[in-house]
Structure formats: structure tokens, C-alpha cells
Homo-oligomer: A and B are copies of this chain.
Amino acid sequence: MEKVTYDPIGEIRSPFEEPSAVPVDPDEPSGAAGRVELDPEFEPGLDGLDGFSHVTILAHLHRSPADTLRAHPPFADGLEVGVFATASPNRPNPIAQTVVRLDSIEGTTLYVEGLDLLDGTPVLDLKPFAPKPSLLEELETGWIGEHLDQEY
């Protein structure tokens, strides 16, 4: 199949300089404040996003090796599963999908909370986070549900 090529639309500014510093424990979600800095040309694309409390960031995990199909989730003792059953950054196409709280937008800078991305991470896309309630009513959460006290 043909390769797919994207031009990043901007970059993450976060307090995390190294992969080991990025928070991974879902019981203690990152409160890290930071910024999504888009290129100025994309300003018309942000109109209306400020009405949403949360934004999904799709970003390219530029420091992930993408060299394995297996993962050991950090919060599940010894469990090994397939990468596609996890959010592990080390996956064939290392695209992060992360939801952050949107505090404000100034020009093409988004001020956000709850970042779990390295400083300098290239941003590919932004979308409003607005899941359908009907989805949540019928959710089963596989190995995550067995390893966490999450209620749905």
C-alpha cells in the first residue's frame, strides 16, 4: 500500500523533555499545563473550537522507536498484550491520540491542561472531544477494566 505523508500543523510545548518524565498512570492523570502552538496559517481552522472543554490531539510521537507489536502497560503488573489493545507510544505508526482540557485560545496558541506529550512533539490534527452518550452505555473495556477501578 502507498505510504502516507503529512506536514505537521504545529508543535507541543510541555514540561516533559524526556520520555521517562511523561506521566502514564491513569489513576493520577497528568495535570501538566502546556501549549499547542499551530502555524499561523491555520488560524481560520480554530474558529468554534473554544466552545469545547476538551480537545483531542493527534500527534506524531517522534521519539518512539516503533519496533514492537507487544506492550507491557505500566499500570498492569507483568501483563503483556498487543500494542493495538493499548495506547503504548511504541507502535507501528506512532500516532498519539490524547485528550486535554482546553483553557483558552490566543491566535493559534492553545493553552491546555493534562498533557502527556513530550516538548517538541509534532501535531498532526486537532478535533473536538465529544463522544456519543450511547457509546458509553454499551462499553466493555477488556484488560483495562480488569486492572483498574474504572466505572462506566
Contact = CB atoms under 8 A, between A and B. Distances in A.
A135 B150 CA distance: 12
A104 interface: no
Interface in A52-86: 52-54, 56, 58, 60, 69-70, 81-86
A3 B5 contact: yes
A26 to B, nearest CB: 7
A85 B48 CA distance: 6
A49 B85 contact: yes
Contacts of A133: 150-152
Contacts of A144: 128, 130
Q: How many monomers of this chain does the complex have?
A: 2
Nearest to A58: B95
Interface residues of A, number: 68
A60 B70 CA distance: 23
A13 to B, nearest CB: 14
25 contacts: A3-B6, A3-B7, A4-B122, A5-B6, A6-B6, A8-B93, A42-B92, A44-B70, A45-B83, A45-B91, A45-B92, A47-B82, A48-B82, A48-B85, A49-B142, A54-B135, A54-B138, A54-B140, A56-B97, A87-B127, A87-B128, A130-B139, A130-B141, A130-B142, A130-B144
Interface of A: 1-9, 11, 26, 29, 42, 44-54, 56, 58, 60, 69-70, 81-87, 91-93, 95, 97, 99, 101, 122, 124-136, 138-145, 150-152
